[in-house]
Amino acid sequence: TLAYALANRQGATSSPDRTEECVQTALELFRLCDGSGDLELELPARVRQIGYLLELDDLAGADVALETLARLCADSHDPRAQAYVPLERSRRLALEGSFREAEELTAEAARLGTRLRDSTIPLQTGAQLIGMRWAQGRIREMHPELKRFADGYAALPVFRAALAVSYCEAGCDADARRELRLLASRDFQDIPRDNVWLLAMAFLSEACAYLEAGDHAAVIYRLLAPFDGRNVVSPDAIFAGPLARY
């Protein structure tokens, strides 16, 4: 059906190059789901929509989208859906600097995630805690988890980029330079241009600043320039502030 096609398209094409298009795809999908009552398709799209709106700096729109998600999840018997709401509420609180309350909601989402099979919730809650520690200037505390994620999820170089920042914070410059050098191959072209590309580049930008790696920083600046005005986010997990910061 058209709704399934739109849902698959939205999930498969998420990247900063197509964020505005994904927002419009979601609106069309919601219109179709309103008629069919298909929450299985609608809820994941609602979750993605929050991230798109945060990236586009529409915080008011993201808040409305979050409350809509919460209302729909209350009507759903899908345990996976129940974990979406504390994840998103945690991200919103962390955005405001309310880290203690945010961590409580992340822990709630993690508890819900342990009941699910083949769930990405543990990965998302882990990423959320990494993002909070980064914002607090404490990402080095997450080094064991970052090393495990970087080694275990080779297809997600964002974790290796975060690992480089943790090495920087810990004063392990040689290790940080090694990670940066690995990711900078072919002017960072080997980093997938997906829904965590902006986050990976933000981590790498910060590593470049720590290490005074001007040549690499210039390449990152050029790559990020088309997205000026955006915020750095990751799906269901991290809000890392304005791209202009990096």
d(Cα 201, Cα 223) in Å, to the nearest integer?
A: 9
d(Cα 99, Cα 110) in Å, to the nearest integer?
A: 16
pLDDT digits (tens, 9 = 90+) for 185-205: 999 999 999 999 999 999 999
Quick one: the chain helix, strand, coil %, rounded to 5? Answer: 75, 5, 25
Model confidence at 13, in pLDDT bands (50, 70, 90)? low
Model confidence at 75, in pLDDT bands (50, 70, 90)? confident
The two structure tokens encoding residue 77: 């018997």
Residue 3's pLDDT is: 63
Q: In this predicted structure, which of 79-93, 158-172, 189-203 has the lowest mean pLDDT?
A: 79-93
The mean pLDDT value for 145-154 works out to 94
Strand 239-242, strand 231-233: pairing? antiparallel
pLDDT digits (tens, 9 = 90+) for 20-51: 999 999 999 888 888 666 778 888 889 999 99
Helix and strand totals (H; E) in the chain? 12, 2
Sign, CA torsion 65/68/72/73:
positive
